[in-house]
Every structure is written in C-alpha cells, then in structure tokens.
Chain A
C-alpha cells in the first residue's frame, strides 16, 4: 500500500495533527467558557478507526496497550516490541518509527518519527493511576487522566511531544489504548457510565459518532480483559 493511500496508517495518523488537526484536547464549543471534556471519547473513536482499518488487512488484529505504570515499564521503558530497531527476523521494526509524509504542511513533512525518552523513574506509578480512578466526578477524572496522558507524551519526547505529529509514532496508539483502558476500568463501576448527560450528543468529528456511541466499548467490538476463557455450549 502506498503511503498516500487513504486506507493506510499515514492517512489516519493525519487526523490528529497535521494535516487535519481534529484531535480534541483543550477545546471549547464556540461562545462557551467551559472546556468540553471530549478528550476521552474523541480518542476512543480514533482508536476504533485505526483498528478497523487494520482489521481490513488482518481480520483478527487488535491494538495493544502499553501499561507505562507497570514494573516492567519501570525497568525497560517503552516495550521492546516498539523500542527494538529490528524485528525478530532482522528486518526494520515498523513499530520503532514510521514515516511522516504530509506534502501539504508548511513546510512539507517528509521525515521519520523519533523519540527522546526520559528516565523510567519519572513514569507514572500504579498509585498515580489508582488516584485517578478514585475520582467520582467525570470532569475531575478526565482532567487527572489527561494530565498523566500529557506527561507520557513529554516523557517519550521527540515526535510524541508534538500534538502536530504525535499520532505518526506507533507508540502513540499503545499509549492511548492504556488511557482508554483506564477510562473503561473507571466506567465498570458506574451503571450509567458516568458521562455528563448534556454532552452525549456532541459530535466527534471527523468520525460518524456522537459521544453516546462510544461510551460502551463492547458495542465497538473490543474490551480490555486481562484474561478471558470461554466455552461454547451447544444444545
């Protein structure tokens, strides 16, 4: 597939920053002072979109999450699947970096992503995640989770610490799956899923979703089980 193909990674990565700038971080609706807490639903729709494009190529593929609060991350930093320059066959690892090709940017972008990781002792801990999960109010929860999210972007550094090009780095997606996973865990304790009712019909441009469409991950065809076992019972 050519890098300019609109079914490909380069195209979808371009929704977030260059060239489309659709990502939702600090935005407001025009004429309103309050910030709209759409960071989590927008990025859930975004993850869904890439996963569907990937499934078109490999039917049973799913996006992985990177638990940057884990002990292994404290030892190794970015998971080896993303940090090794070569894959097990000795070929360049496509998860180590990707190519950014945006000829319409000013100046045009035609370059590889790069990283500049910090000391692993600066990564958030389980206690930090638990503190976020203790929030009972959605706005506080989202504020605190977005704060950890911002920290990780800066920790990885390089392309990841620039909104404009962050989504071109493959680790962006594993990081955001972790963010989405924490939201999912928070939701499991809430029958109403905890989202402000007056924002359920906000549109998550450019995706064909309103907020209410992305609240339940199972309706999007995935979940974040640590383990699962199943048995088919016929009869």
Chain B
C-alpha cells in the first residue's frame, strides 16, 4: 500500500488530485419559476480561507466528479472559484481563532480570518441543465498547487463553508 501511494505521488502533476470533495444535499427548485430567470448565481457563504490556496471546481449533479473530470457542462461543470489562502498561522496560540466580539464601541474590522464569500454567474449553464433536472447537488473539487512547504498542512480537509445557494434573478 505504501508503495502504491508513493508511485501515485511520483506521477502526480503539481495540481494534485486530493481525496476530499464536498457534495451538497440536493437543492430543489420550482422549475416553472426558474424558466424565467435572467441571471443565475451560485453562492458560497462562510468560506474558510485560513489554509492553503485552491481552485474549487464546481459540478452540478455529478457527485463522482474529481480532478480528472472534464471541465465541460456535459459533466456538470459550471465554473470555478479561487481561494487565496492565509497559508497557516504565524502567531502564538489562539492567533488565528476567529473570536466573536460584541462590544458596541469596537470599530475595528472583523478578524482577518472571518469566513468569506464567493459567487459566480451560471446563467447559461443553469438554463441548459434545467432542461433535464429540477433539483441539483453541488460538488466542489479542490485543486491545490502543492509545494514543499505543505508537508505539514492538512490537504484532505480543505473545503469548509457554511452555505451554498443558487440564486436566480428576473430583470
């Protein structure tokens, strides 16, 4: 087994396939309403960015997607978002803990590692997929530009966010 893993690592390109993907529970739509939209966004709320940078490849209704899955709509690929990660902690114990603080006279910005937000437009892709589906799962495949300094970092639990939403708009 050990040999097998090392053989895979030798062959791996810099953008390495990681083991952990995230697939959501199905997001359901009223298909009659959705036929009318002029714009559709996919939103990721509460995105953790404390760790490594990565590309999150987003697939709809393809829970088996991985780093080798073609980036085409045929495979459910609707786009990617990129996270510019903090890259680990360089402070003392607790330095990177996001502490909620409610003093009404505290005007400082939030902690730099407060979870972030990402969204991108999927209007055409969703319109096409709506011809076949009325509910969707969202699978995010992380792609990391791995390097020698990541040996001590957790590369199997990268994607953390609080909520995924597909939002449509009418003009």
Contact = CB atoms under 8 A, between A and B. Distances in A.
Interface string B83-120: 11111111110010000011010111110101111111
6 contacts: A26-B116, A29-B107, A106-B90, A144-B120, A162-B53, A205-B109
B52 interface: yes
Interface in B24-60: 47, 49, 52-55
Contacts of B119: 143
Contacts of B49: 25-26, 163
A31 B108 CA distance: 10
Given A154-B83, A154-B84, A155-B145, 17 more contacts: A17-B87, A17-B90, A19-B90, A23-B112, A25-B112, A26-B116, A29-B107, A35-B116, A36-B109, A106-B91, A106-B92, A147-B81, A147-B82, A151-B82, A162-B87, A163-B84, A166-B84
A216 interface: no
A29 B53 CA distance: 24
A205 B109 CA distance: 10
A119 to B, nearest CB: 9
Contacts, number: 109
B85 A162 contact: yes
A165 B87 contact: yes
Nearest to B81: A147
Q: Which of B54, B91, B92 has the most CB of A within 10 A?
A: B91
Interface residues of A, number: 41
Contact of A153 (B47, B53, B91, B108): B53
Contact of A163 (B55, B87, B92, B108): B87
Contacts of B120: 144, 147
Contacts of B83: 150, 154
Contact of A26 (B88, B104, B114): B114
Closest 6 CB pairs of A and B: A162-B87, A26-B116, A150-B82, A161-B53, A150-B84, A157-B145
A150 B82 CA distance: 6
B160 interface: no
A61 B26 CA distance: 56
Q: Which of A106, A158, A163 has the most CB of B within 10 A?
A: A163
A36 B107 CA distance: 14
A147 B81 CA distance: 7
Interface string A106-133: 1101000010101000000000000000
Interface residues on B, range: 35 or more
Contact of B14 (A28, A114, A116, A164): A116
A164 B147 contact: no
A112 to B, nearest CB: 12
Interface in A28-68: 28-31, 35-36
B15 interface: yes
Given A153-B53, A161-B87, A29 B110 contact: yes
Interface in A139-154: 143-144, 147, 149-151, 153-154
Contacts of A162: 53, 85-88
A35 B53 contact: no
Contact of B117 (A35, A109, A151): A35
A118 B102 CA distance: 43
